[in-house]
Structure 1
């Protein structure tokens, strides 16, 4: 598979998932578990299409091709364990990531996530679930920042449940509507914007208040 084919699969997750179901049947659950686990657990795989994948998987549950409760349980487990692995890696490497040049880490994304984490604290772990790229780097930064394991797991599990349940359920009820299926990419981008814009506005509001106080 060349690079163009890979990105085509990412952009057309509905067709890709349908093909996997036809070819591998029940084993597709393991594939979905691996994708969600890797996207949340390995910073080098931040480009994996987590949001779209969950939504489309929910749509397949509505047609009876996949089991809704089983899918939900597996994806929540994948999201929680993936984030936990990422946290442990960040905890192990520590502050060296900011002073050493690791080729496998996107420094710009790392610094942006760290700034975001510093502003919003523990709730970043929950909010980040709904923001691509930040979702992958947030648990890593939590580990680097020495966030306690118990506190991290509270936000980790809460965020995983909210993320998986909301997107899979949305796909279950709306994913098979023709207009939704035909404009899936646009809808996903709107969803991402709905998650990012309030965060950005909150940041601008705080910045504005600081400027006014000066």
Structure 2
């Protein structure tokens, strides 16, 4: 399904903005977001942007509008239909996730809504929980609008980097890709360790930071600059 949608979008670029907005909306909507492979679709759509098949700015704004509206609907459902959704078959089997979202929001408030957008399955639940706990609309809207500005380009950027790199020699990209994948894996491991052994997690974070700081003296630093230059060209044309 993902391949078919991406293939159709690449041959019908006039519909791309609507497709991106719809994907971002559904991916951000409580319950529905669990069943939509939004991150995979946005990665593929970002690749089409990076390869020059789709314009940058209209796609980013479409993702922004879709995500903001999706989370706003989830927040509204929490305000007005919390009992019905909490008693749904989906949440009957995902009570720990709901409790985790509640604990995060109670502890971190607005910060949980901003950071939570980037945290897998919990991102579509947090706005619903904020509404459930009767968080005021006047505070929610600025948070939602700001969070969307951070989320939309960040979620599309990996795909854009892939698409923009297609014209670069593949052999030169592998060492850089491995290096960055290792850093990402270390950061993921640190996140998993944090609640169990914070000292170990801190050591892993330090190692990942060291690998990132090491980049400028490694041979594939120039490759990274070429990738960044290609991304800049895509944005400039967008």
Which TM-score applies when normalising by structure 2? 0.65
The unaligned stretches of length 5 or more in structure 1 are 1-8, 206-214
Q: 1:31 aligns with which of 9, 19, 29?
A: 19
User: Which residue matches 1:210?
Assistant: none
Q: Does the 8 Å contact 1:131/1:196 carry over to 2?
A: no
C-alpha deviation, 1:67, in angstroms: 1.0
**Size of the alignment, in residue pairs?**
184
Match of 2:81 in 1: 93
Rg comparison, structure with higher value = 2
Match of 1:131 in 2: 119
State the partner residue of 2:41.
53
Aligned to 1:154: 142
- Structure 2 residues not aligned, in runs of 5+: 199-238
The separation in 2 between residues aligned to 1:122 and 1:113, in whole angstroms, is 12
Instruction: Please provide the CA RMSD for this pair.
Output: 3.2
Once the two structures are overlaid, the 10-residue window that deviates more, 77-86 or 31-40, is 31-40
Shift of 1:152: 1.2
In 2, distance between residues paired with 1:128 and 1:153? 16
Distance 2:189 2:27 in 1: 19
Question: Quick check: 1:75–1:164 contact (8 Å CA) kept in 2?
Answer: yes
Instruction: Summarize the Cα distance change of 1:24–1:203 in structure 2 as closer, same or farther, 3 Å threshold.
Output: farther
4+ residue runs of structure 1 moved beyond 4 angstroms? 193-200, 202-205
The TM-score with structure 1 as length reference comes to 0.71
Match runs of 1:115-194 below 5 Å: 115-177=103-165, 190=184, 194=187
- Is the 2:22–2:66 Cα contact (8 Å) retained in structure 1? yes
- The answer (yes or no) to whether the contact 1:44–1:104 under 8 Å persists in 2 is no
1:109 maps onto 2:97 in alignment: yes
